[in-house]
Each structure stands twice: as C-alpha cells, then as structure tokens.
Structure 1
C-alpha cells in the first residue's frame, strides 16, 4: 500500500509539472511543433539517468525513491503516448519533415540525456 501511495504522490507532482511545462512551451514557442512533449521527455530522461545512476551506484536506496521519483514523478512527467499522437497528427497534416525531426530528436536526445545523467553521477558524485 505504501508503494502505491509513493507512486500516486510522485505521479500527481509529475503530471502537474508536465502540464505547466507544456503550457509554457506553447506560450513561448507556439503550437507549430510539439516543443512541450519534447521538453518533458528530455528533462525526464536526464532525471531518470541521474536517478538510476544514484541507485545503481548505491548512493540512493532503490525503495522508496524508484517508486516515488522513477515510476510516479517521471512516469507522469514524460509521455510516450503524446509523442506518438503528436507524430500521427503531423503525418496526417502532411508535415513529414516536422514528424521526422520530432521522432529523431525525441529518440536520440532522450537516450543521450539518460546516458548523460548516469555519467554525471558516475563522474561527479
């Protein structure tokens, strides 16, 4: 029951932050490209890399942090389903260049930032 509470608590905070970042991105950059989705996925991947680096190095206990931050907070902050839908909409609009760019940026940069987060922990903490 405690694990479920940690996931729910982290999820509530992550969802609110995701909403705020997405709205800010629309306000700042407009709706021409899914900047908000890209931003939350990049931030979430970097933070997940840091979290996993801390857990794997033994600097942080797996429980309850994995449930609170990894599954709850970062699970709600990042979004694969919105990423997929953003691309479907871009493709339906015939905007193949933006769809391709979005797919490339999300996939390559999220992996790169997860690796960077883990490397940051390994080399600096």
Structure 2
C-alpha cells in the first residue's frame, strides 16, 4: 500500500497542531480545575470525540470524496489532539451497524488492553513491584 506524500505531509502538519492544542488545552484546564484529577486530559478526550463526531457528521467517513480534509482534520489534527476520538468513532460506527456485541467487546478490549499495556510498561520500567 502506498501513501501519497501530500497526504503524509497533511497528516504530519495536522498532528503537530493537534499535539500543541492538546498541550495548551490540557494545561489551561488544569490551571483552572487543579491537578487532583486529570481534568485536562478528560476535557481534551471528550472534546476530541465531540469534534470527531462533528467531522464524521459533516464530512462522512474517510473516502476519496473527502480529499485532504479527512486526513488533515480526523487523522492529523484530532489524532494528534487525542486518540479517544478515533476510538469513540469506531465504537459508534459498530453500534450504528447493529454490531452491538462487537462495539461492547471493542470497548472492553480497548480499555482492558490499554490498562494492561500501561501496567506492563510501568513494570518493565521498574515502576511496579
């Protein structure tokens, strides 16, 4: 599979902007709500999911008709901003396809595997006994 170099450039640019936006929003929210809980991350992840839903609703899902818009906004910008937006969109898509068991399994597997991977990484780094 080959990827158009222009698509790579658009995704890279969007990802850079999304990462900077995540940092800015996360820090701003943490400044106002404190660091007792990861409020900044929560706001970023929930707003990213909302924005992904808006993008999918306005543009449709990825396809040639979206041109460079989908790679820029959904893959680059929102991918750099948060990964929960893609996870949420995929879960919603499964649910709308009436694949409820697959959607629930995907949520359980993603969350379970994510926590397990974090624990394994922490263990490998010596952070867990």
Q: TM bucket by the smaller chain? A: 0.5 to 0.7
Q: Which aligned segments of 4 or more residues in structure 1 are displaced greater than 6 angstroms? A: none
2:65 is the alignment partner of 1:76: no
Q: How does 1:1-125 map to 2 (within 5 A)?
A: 1-56=5-60, 61-80=65-84
| Larger RCO (CA within 8 A; separation ≥ 6) | 1
**Secondary structure of the residue that 1:31 maps to in structure 2?**
coil
Larger Cα-atom Rg: 2
> Could you tell me how far apart the structure 2 residues matched to 1:56 and 1:13 are?
22
- Structure 1: unaligned runs, 5 residues or longer: 90-125
Superposed CA offset, 1:18-57 (max 9, x none): 0001111121111111101111111111111111111229
> Could you tell me how far apart the structure 1 residues matched to 2:17 and 2:53 are?
19
Q: How many residue pairs were aligned?
A: 82
- Structure 2: unaligned runs, 5 residues or longer: 85-110, 120-129
Superposed CA offset, 1:62-118 (max 9, x none): 2211100000000011145xx967xx79xxxxxxxxxxxxxxxxxxxxxxxxxxxxx
C-alpha RMSD over aligned residues: 2.3
